[in-house]
Chain A
Amino acid sequence: MREILHMLVVLSIICATSGAVLVNLKQATKSQIEQQVLTYVQGPALLTVLDNRDNDPIKERVKIDGVTVFPAMKDGKLVGVALEAFAPGYSGDIGVMVGFDVENDELLGIGITTQTETPGLGDKVMKPSFTDKFKGHNLDSMQVSKKGGDIDSIAGATYSSVGTVDAVRKAIEVYQSIRPEISNIWKNS
Chain B
Amino acid sequence: MSRLVKEFVKGLWDELPPFRVLLGLCPVLAVTSSAENGLGMGMAVIFVLTMSNLIISSIRKVIPAKVRIACFIVITASLVVTVELLMQAYAYPLYQKLGIFVPLIVVNCLILGRAEAFASKNGVVLSIADALGMGIGFAASLTFLGAVREVLGAGTVFGVPVMWESFKPAEFMIMAPGAFVGLGVILAGMNAFNRYQSRKKGEEVPDVMNGGCAHCGACGGIQDLKDK
Q: A interface vs B, CB < 8 Å?
A: 3, 6-7, 10-11, 14-15, 18, 21-22, 25-26, 29, 32-33, 36-37, 39-41
**Per-position contact with A for B61-84: 1 when CB-CB < 8 Å, else 0?**
011101100110011011001100
Interface membership of B88, Cβ < 8 A: yes
User: Size of chain B's interface in residues, with CB distance under 8 A?
Assistant: 22
A–B Cβ pairs within 8 angstroms, 8 of them: A10-B67, A11-B71, A15-B74, A25-B82, A29-B86, A32-B89, A40-B92, A40-B96
Interface of B is mostly: helix
Q: Known contacts A21-B78, A22-B78, A22-B81; decide if A33 and B63 are in contact (CB<8 Å).
A: no
Q: Which residues of B contact A29 (CB under 8 A)?
A: 85-86, 88-89
Contact of A39 with B92 in the complex, beta carbons under 8 Å:
yes
Q: Known contacts A10-B67, A14-B71, A29-B85; decide if A37 and B92 are in contact (CB<8 Å).
A: yes
Contact of B62 with A10 in the complex, beta carbons under 8 Å:
yes
CB proximity of B41 to chain A, nearest CB, Å: 19
CB proximity of A109 to chain B, nearest CB, Å: 23
Contact of B93 with A26 in the complex, beta carbons under 8 Å:
no
Nearest residue (CB) in A for B77 is A18
* Alpha-carbon gap, A26 to B89, bound state (A): 10
Interface of A is mostly: helix
Q: Which residues of A contact B82 (CB under 8 A)?
A: 21-22, 25
Interface membership of B164, Cβ < 8 A: no
Contact of A40 with B75 in the complex, beta carbons under 8 Å:
no
* Alpha-carbon gap, A18 to B90, bound state (A): 22
B81-134 residues with Cβ-Cβ distance < 8 A to A are: 81-82, 85-86, 88-90, 92-93, 96
